[in-house]
Structure 1
């Protein structure tokens, strides 16, 4: 059984890569002649003879095709909470792998738009399961000082999936005929197959094992991951003790259900987790990923030039996410969210100003036949729009990208974590669905004002984070519970990275261990109950 947390992470976050594969397999293909002619709904006849000028699906239909995947992900994320609590984190992710392969087969074999939508919807179910449960699985295995880094690797895997599949799709665009899009859509099954078999060699979540009264297995996994198999390591024994107290207290006092998430003690946490995922979508980042060829088409780029320029933002996305993997546990959660939202608002407003000042309506037929009507901008202002788009991606990648996956699993107690993260991830996918459907018609109807809308969202989320989002970095999952029980204002919470590093390194004496146990949320709540 593999015990190295980085190897465990590298295998498990392939589940995030599936989402990345889906994003770029659509964004790189929807502008190609082969795709537009095969799924054509415009005035031009289909054909692959190099002369037909096909406009592809209508803008609203293309929005539906793109949105079918996040629509399925919403359903998959809901189901993932039940799957994870019953069969475990590992098995639920493996179920997602099987569903992904089924969906990919349908997408690859699509004969019409309806079949393509159904295949992408099934793919979405798989992505919903994996995107909800991979962060839970990794966060429950990781030492607190590395939790942000390894859970943030989910976002890095998404960026790699986007980049790899984009270049595969770009290379396949030179193939004549339907193989140009069927080959990349078929190849996206391979990472799911690798993930399924790789999970066989990984341990189950120790907290899920504890919940099922498999205490010996829980102890063994904690020792394997945190102390190279030393069952008597101080941090392992302390962690086991805290998990045991939490499980016994939860079992004695309440039953876990979705309804409990909406009770007063949990509602604030649920609101924070849900809005973390909602705001990550309302930044506009996934819109940039899905429809970047539209945006750069407005800036006058076409054909290979457009695809290559689009791929640069995917490289930026991969590179800038590395900073989060290295430093996110030192930076914490609040600071990256605040800085990221502020910078992204700046670039959105800048693009809106450039488009409004120097742009003009596109000619009939749109820019590069991307939309029925659109907006265009040329010359130096067009290059400035491209630069601001790259800066926007560079601002999102080390901030909201990884933190939106790291943060929600840290907010909830064990008994509710699987169900709670399922709900927060659902909110991500329902907004992903809405935006995927909304953006193509929006570029047609309100043109550059789309940037104003996302700029306002980014401004609002910065204010929301400052007042409502507490710091969870440098705390065990049990200590986070204590923080919420004390109702500490969000702006007064801080990163405690060095303290948790000392504890993991065995630099914890009996006095500190006793103090931590005395301050545990289990004992505190029991004491408060006696005094009331």
Structure 2
């Protein structure tokens, strides 16, 4: 029997996000340990028995292998999802994760480790693209942001749990220090695989396959609390039918559809939502925070403990977004996050530039940490790093997963979100490879690069990203394309508003309530032509 509670459905599905979190900290907590450095050593062995480890470019390649696989898999996931369903696509990802984790756990050399991480990336690419689609197609409008945002919260939990597992294993001798955590990370994938068996399929995917009875049954189960005559279920079912009848003639689509004039704007918005989330530099902080804290004068276990604090901050500070993002809206959340992160990045760059001491061979022979600060400057670098994480966690972290699935019509949603997510992974790949050499060669200027990106994303969001919070997915489609209905056509992005109160009224059966006033009939009367948006 399928589970009908939407919160429980989301809680199980977002374990797929937790797998990404496990991967991040299973690397970030381990790269600074001597066991890892000596096993995969490409440099010299020091007099005290410590090893230089892989070169900075090799370490970048090891780290980047996972997002490299994710990029390819994210694109493939659109076809998997459309062919087999959102649910089965996620289950396929779980099987792939177990295979990749097994190879990582058994890695005998750098090549085998890269291969295992690349395969793990296939799972992360599939799940990161299709879990938000799965949840957004099941969730009611008033809870959609909160529920899809659980994906990011699961990522933060995965990061924190795996970091402490890896930290505990760092006290083991030899290769056990990294083999144990890399083996343990397959456990949540096994749990997710069996948990997905008890979840319903997306009603909108079922509709796309003309399985209307099953579609209605899922809506009844999830939204009607078992009542097939629920007014909200009837309205939702009718909207899905009307939308699918309109889309049927274009049902079989390819990625090229996303670049046609009537879709290109939404394609670019969704893609850049994911790209900008990487260019904030957040995953750099997650993968390479131990290098940052080496520059701040923290070494050995002190470094790992200090690094773990940011993971706790990440978990806790994601909670406000889960509670309020549907009320706040997507646009204000993204704009505020960009400003705050820009502030802390510029601050760190200024502190390291003005107070840092150049260390030619790197702190503790780590070439990625060639600038070191001490005293109050050290505390300021640590504080700004924590504040950066606290700014990302309730803003770009969850919204980058919430926003793209809301933008697209049913016929292309699986492929469109897959393409958007591929932007996340290709930039994750590039940054994972770029940052260690960047820290080695341009040191504090690395922070300037990401701070300037934050300025760019603020401008882009302000002028180009419309508000989608509180609107049914079918209404968002009408907002872009329907010449006779509520829409975004002719309304500047910065004038669009949250429709949370209207959505609440509709869920409670007040179907006569008008949708937010920027889509009022008066505005439609003055613009009757169909405009590509």
Fold shared by both chains (TM-score > 0.5): yes
Q: What is the CA distance between 1:528 and its match in structure 2? A: 6.2
Cα separation, 1, equivalents of 2:312 and 2:476: 35
How large is the Cα RMSD of the aligned pairs? 2.0
1:94 equivalent to 2:113? Answer no
What residue number does 2:215 align with?
218
Cα separation, 2, equivalents of 1:332 and 1:514: 15
What residue number does 2:498 align with?
495
* Contact 2:274 2:423 (C-alpha < 8 Å) held by counterparts: yes
Greater helix proportion: 1
What residue number does 1:506 align with?
509
What residue number does 1:274 align with?
271
* Contact 1:31 1:370 (C-alpha < 8 Å) held by counterparts: no
Map 1:342-361 onto structure 2 (within 5 A).
342-361=339-358
Cα separation, 2, equivalents of 1:325 and 1:346: 24
1:238 equivalent to 2:235? Answer yes
Q: What is the CA distance between 1:154 and its match in structure 2? A: 0.1
Q: What is the CA distance between 1:368 and its match in structure 2? A: 2.1
Cα separation, 1, equivalents of 2:490 and 2:147: 28
Cα separation, 2, equivalents of 1:94 and 1:258: 23
What residue number does 1:410 align with?
406
Cα separation, 2, equivalents of 1:82 and 1:245: 24
Q: Deviations over 1:115-141 (max 9, x none)?
A: 000000000011000000000000000
Q: What is the CA distance between 1:254 and its match in structure 2? A: 6.2
1:484 aligned to which of 474, 480, 486: 480
Unaligned 5+ segments in structure 1 are none
Q: Deviations over 1:396-420 (max 9, x none)?
A: 0000000000000000000000000
Q: What is the CA distance between 1:513 and its match in structure 2? A: 9.6
* Contact 1:80 1:92 (C-alpha < 8 Å) held by counterparts: yes
1:200 equivalent to 2:197? Answer yes
Output the TM-score relative to the length of structure 2. Answer: 0.94
What residue number does 2:432 align with?
436
Cα separation, 2, equivalents of 1:513 and 1:242: 16
Q: Deviations over 1:357-390 (max 9, x none)?
A: 10021142x1123226611111110110100000
Cα separation, 2, equivalents of 1:166 and 1:4: 31
Higher alpha-carbon deviation: 499-508 or 198-207: 499-508
1:180 equivalent to 2:212? Answer no
* Contact 2:21 2:159 (C-alpha < 8 Å) held by counterparts: yes
What residue number does 2:187 align with?
190
1:78 equivalent to 2:75? Answer yes
1:118 aligned to which of 115, 118, 135: 115
Q: What is the CA distance between 1:263 and its match in structure 2? A: 0.6
Output the TM-score relative to the length of structure 1. Answer: 0.94
Cα separation, 2, equivalents of 1:372 and 1:328: 37
* Contact 2:318 2:398 (C-alpha < 8 Å) held by counterparts: yes
Cα separation, 1, equivalents of 2:408 and 2:414: 9
Map 1:26-65 onto structure 2 (within 5 A).
26-44=27-45, 51-65=48-62
Unaligned 5+ segments in structure 2 are 482-488
Q: What is the CA distance between 1:144 and its match in structure 2? A: 0.5
* Contact 2:169 2:181 (C-alpha < 8 Å) held by counterparts: yes
Q: What is the CA distance between 1:512 and its match in structure 2? A: 5.4
2:294 aligned to which of 297, 303, 323: 297
Q: What is the CA distance between 1:255 and its match in structure 2? A: 4.1
Map 1:357-396 onto structure 2 (within 5 A).
357-364=354-361, 366-371=362-367, 374-396=370-392
* Contact 2:149 2:399 (C-alpha < 8 Å) held by counterparts: yes
Q: Deviations over 1:434-483 (max 9, x none)?
A: 00000000001000000111100001100110000000001000111121
Cα separation, 1, equivalents of 2:369 and 2:419: 37
The structure-2 alpha-carbon separation of the partners of 1:253 and 1:112, relative to structure 1 and needing over 3 Å to count, comes to closer
1:452 equivalent to 2:453? Answer no
Cα separation, 2, equivalents of 1:495 and 1:243: 22
What residue number does 1:16 align with?
17
